[in-house]
């Protein structure tokens, strides 16, 4: 089974910086890491390869520092790593990102399955997986927990709206993977081995034969017009009286603030 796993480098939540001119995230290697939700997709790919053989290609779009997450993917079991990097892709929204990823997958060629995380911790839209499926005209199933191969089909299990569903899908297909599973971290030996035996391929828009007008800001259907920082105000109110009086006073304050009804 030939599997492609789409991953992303995200900025740590406590280190977010915004470019005041472009309103885009300022990315640096020391403040970024692999999107945690993509680790579940990568882990599922490794388990499927163990059972059905094949190979795993890790694919990401971003600046050169995004190579960091590809090295991590290689150390966790990916066989091949590809970086889609071009300055004209900067500030892409999910639509433009899906287009560039789709062009990268078309250049890769043959594949059976594409796996994506459910969402990212920075944008948190959950849109790239479904949009990429539409871009490539593939069947898509989200929130996937278990996958089994059977008679040329994949048997999918997922939990949605409180119901456990069993679905079947023909290949090729795209799945977004539920975080309801455990993942492991790479050991130092695995990291060293990845740097020793592997390399990272880098493709720009010309390599992909992609239309620059469909990438970056020009290809984005949404954009940021402005940012308004939110401030949080904290205060401490001491409630006097015995425990019964304090409880009554607290309940009254919560009702007044529509926190209880």
The answer to whether 147 touches 44, Cβ cutoff 8 Å, is yes
Q: Taking the mean position of all CA atoms in its chain, how far away is CA 60? A: 10
Look at residue 86 in the predicted model and tell me its pLDDT. Answer: 97
Question: Looking at the chain, how many residues does it have?
Answer: 261
Rounded to the nearest angstrom, the gap between the alpha carbon of residue 214 and the centroid of all alpha carbons in its chain is 21
**Would you state the pLDDT for residue 22?**
62
For residue 14, what pLDDT is reported?
56
pLDDT tens digits, one per residue of 169-195: 999 999 999 998 788 888 989 999 999
Please give the pLDDT value at position 112: 95
Torsion, Cα of 11, 127, 176, 114 (10° steps): -90
Structural class in CATH, domain 2-214: alpha beta
Distance CA 7, CA 79 (A): 14
Q: Provide the pLDDT for residue 6.
A: 98
The pLDDT score that the predictor gives to residue 29 is 57
| Token pair belonging to 253 | 């304050």
What does the alpha-carbon distance between residue 237 and residue 188 come to, in Å, rounded to a whole number? 50
Residue 93 CA from chain centroid, whole number: 13
The string of DSSP codes covering 6-35 is: E--EEE-GGG--B-TTT-PBP--GGGEEE-
pLDDT for 140 equals 97
pLDDT digits (tens, 9 = 90+) for 125-140: 999 999 999 999 999 9
Alpha-carbon distance of 151 to 1, in angstroms, equals 14
Distances (CA, A) of 73 to 56, 69, 84, 186: 10, 6, 15, 9
Walking along the chain (261 residues) 10 residues at a time, the average pLDDT comes out as 96 64 62 89 96 96 94 96 96 95 97 96 91 98 92 88 91 94 87 94 98 95 77 84 92 88 73
- Listed in sequence order, the DSSP H helices in the chain are 36-52, 67-75, 94-108, 128-135, 188-197, 205-208, 243-256
**In the chain, where are the structural domains located?**
2-214
* Residue-level pLDDT at 185: 84
Return the closest-CA partner of residue 210 out of 62, 59, 84, 57.
84
| CA 131-148-9 angle, 5° bins | 40
User: What does the DSSP assignment read for 72-93?
Assistant: HHHHTT-SEEEEE--GGGTT--
């Amino acid at each position: 089974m030939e599997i492609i796993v789409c991953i992303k480098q995200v900025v740590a939540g406590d280190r977010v910086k915004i470019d005041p001119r472009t309103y885009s995230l300022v990315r640096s290697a020391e403040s970024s890491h692999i999107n945690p939700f993509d680790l579940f997709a990568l882990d599922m790919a490794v388990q499927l390869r163990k059972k059905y053989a094949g190979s795993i290609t890790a694919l990401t779009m971003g600046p050169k520092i995004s190579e960091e997450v590809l090295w991590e993917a290689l150390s966790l079991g990916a066989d091949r790593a590809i970086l889609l990097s071009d300055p004209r892709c900067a500030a892409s929204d999910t639509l433009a990102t899906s287009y560039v990823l789709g062009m990268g997958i078309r250049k890769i060629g043959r594949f059976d399955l594409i796996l994506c995380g459910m969402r990212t911790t920075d944008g948190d839209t959950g849109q790239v997986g479904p949009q990429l499926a539409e871009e490539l005209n593939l069947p898509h199933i989200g929130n996937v927990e278990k996958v089994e191969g059977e008679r040329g089909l994949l048997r999918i299990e997922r939990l949605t709206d409180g119901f456990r569903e069993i679905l079947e899908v023909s290949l090729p297909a795209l799945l977004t993977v539920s975080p309801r599973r455990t993942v492991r971290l790479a050991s130092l030996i695995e990291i060293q081995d990845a740097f020793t035996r592997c390399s990272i391929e880098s493709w720009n828009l010309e390599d992909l034969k992609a239309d620059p007008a469909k990438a970056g800001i020009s290809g984005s259907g949404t954009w940021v017009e402005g940012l308004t920082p939110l401030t949080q105000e904290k205060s401490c109110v001491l409630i006097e009286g015995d425990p019964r009086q304090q409880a009554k006073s607290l309940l009254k304050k919560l009702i007044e603030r529509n926190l209880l009804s």
